[in-house]
Amino acid sequence: MDEFALIRRYFAPLSPAAEGVVLGIGDDAAILAPPLGHELLMSSDTLVAGRHFPLTTAPYDIGWKALAVNLSDLAAMGAEPLWFLLALTLPQPDEAWLAGFADGLGTLARTHGIALVGGDTTRGNLSITITAVGSVPAGSSLRRDGAKLGDQICVTGTLGDAALGLQLNGSENRSPCAQSEHDLVALHARLDRPTPRLEAGLLLRGFANAAIDLSDGLAGDLGHVLAASGVGADLQADALPVSEAFARQAEAGDRLALQAAGGDDYELCVCLPPDRLAAARTAIAPLPLTVIGTISAEPGLRWWATDGTQLKPELLSYQHFDDRRQAP
Ligand code: ADP
Ligand code: MG
């Protein structure tokens, strides 16, 4: 199958007639008409086989996650998804792999009404780069640099599931009961098919002073907000929200590291004034919004236990060029 047949067969179906698409796949470039009075937001992310996902990952999950991580960036800015580009490097045009990949990618794309408008297809080691484009009414994006003294620091959903799923990969010394099987499936689903919080991002635009999505781990990601905003934070370790599967399966001694430095959660972390909390919670319900700490004047990030003692956890956020931390 040549490159053009491959694009026609697997990727053109992800390019429905969509709003603002004057010309989609097939010419040298797509022609797009931005919504009037809006700003465009663009974000790229690359997934490299063997680094961002194990070589054994199902093609459906690779397609899903490649788009999900980009949509999560749009969500963190409060943007509505519009279009995306796909740059795909493949060792060979394996049809079963392509069908699964396009299915995962297309399922998530249709869920959020985002249209594929172009890309590039090349031969080489498996790697996927997606560029997603979204929009917001001019001036209304959520950013990292707006956190204010006294803001409550909140997260959507639960933290640590993906990291625990990764930790439990291949661990054989667990009791093989039905409950832990069920929990493992749930934890792996969080790792392989993360849910970008687009709806919550849009709704939180009216409430939050700052936002970021949690891809590399809470401690590191919140650190970017603190640095950009010129503030510090005090966090309650026991306030970090957990799923039922996490509560049952995580070892007590691992919890804080998994939740605060684990990464791959793709939840949103937002900073908002206390008097907006109740309305923000109502707006995004039933998705939970949990207060985990407060923005303070003293720079840096401090962790506290419920009894008021300070914790000094060693937390390393995922960084590609940091030798202290190896890729999975
Ligand atoms: P060119 O050689 O002019 O750069 P290509 O031959 O790479 O164009 O691509 C032809 C058309 O197919 C373009 O419109 C391009 O955007 C689209 N395209 C190529 N690869 C992909 C892909 N993986 N997904 C979606 N569209 C693609
Ligand atoms: Mg060309």
pLDDT score, position 182:
94
- Kindly state if the Cβ of 89 falls inside 6 Å of ligand 1: no
As a whole number, the mean pLDDT across the chain is 93
- Kindly state if the Cβ of 67 falls inside 6 Å of ligand 1: no
- pLDDT for 325 beyond 80: no
- pLDDT for 254 beyond 70: yes
- pLDDT for 326 beyond 60: no
pLDDT score, position 201:
98
Question: Which of 121, 123, 130 has most ligand 1 atoms within 8 Å of its beta carbon, as the pocket-test mutant?
Answer: 121
- Kindly state if the Cβ of 106 falls inside 6 Å of ligand 1: no
Q: What is the mean pLDDT of residues 317-327?
A: 54
pLDDT score, position 125:
96
Distances from the Cα of 209 to the Cαs of 217, 229, 324, in angstroms? 20, 10, 33
CA of 8 relative to ligand 1 center, distance in Å: 10
CA of 147 relative to ligand 1 center, distance in Å: 41
Nearest CA to ligand 1 atom 10: 26
- Kindly state if the Cβ of 25 falls inside 6 Å of ligand 1: yes
pLDDT score, position 179:
78
pLDDT in tens, 189-210: 999 999 999 999 999 999 999 9
Do 318 and 216 form a contact (C-beta atoms < 8 A)? yes
Global pTM value:
0.93
Pairwise CA distance, residues 102 & 231, whole Å = 43
Do 132 and 114 form a contact (C-beta atoms < 8 A)? yes
- Kindly state if the Cβ of 85 falls inside 6 Å of ligand 1: no
Decide if domain 3-137 falls under CATH 3.30.1330.10: yes
pLDDT score, position 318:
59
CA of 75 relative to ligand 1 center, distance in Å: 27
| Least distant ligand from the CA of 27 | 1
| Least distant ligand from the CA of 29 | 1
- Indicate where the chain has its CATH 3.90.650.10 domain(s): 144-311
- Indicate where the chain has its CATH 3.30.1330.10 domain(s): 3-137
- pLDDT for 177 beyond 90: no
- Among candidates 203, 165, 170, which has minimal Cα distance to 185? 165
- Kindly state if the Cβ of 7 falls inside 6 Å of ligand 1: yes
Q: What is the mean pLDDT of residues 217-237?
A: 97
pLDDT score, position 198:
98
pLDDT in tens, 86-135: 999 999 999 999 999 999 999 999 999 999 999 999 999 999 999 999 99
Question: Which of 15, 85, 120 has most ligand 1 atoms within 8 Å of its beta carbon, as the pocket-test mutant?
Answer: 120
pLDDT score, position 2:
86
Nearest CA to ligand 1 atom 19: 120
| 3-state SS track over the chain | CCHHHHHHHHHHHHCCCCCCEEECECECCCEECCCCCEEEEEEEEEEEECCCECCCCCHHHHHHHHHHHHHHHHHHCCCEEEEEEEEEEECCCCHHHHHHHHHHHHHHHHHHCCEEEEEEEEECCCEEEEEEEEEEECCCCCCHHHCCCCCEEEEECCCCHHHHHHHHCCCCCCCCCHHHHHHHHHHHHHHHCCCCCHHHHHHHCCCCCEEEECCCCHHHHHHHHHHHHCCEEEEEHHHCCCCHHHHHHCCHHHHHHHHHHCCCCCCEEEEECHHHHHHHHHHHCCCCEEEEEEEECCCEEEEECCCCCEECCCCCCCCCCCCCCCCC
Which of the following CATH numbers is that of domain 144-311: 3.40.47.10, 3.30.930.10, 3.40.50.720, 3.90.650.10? 3.90.650.10
pLDDT score, position 327:
43
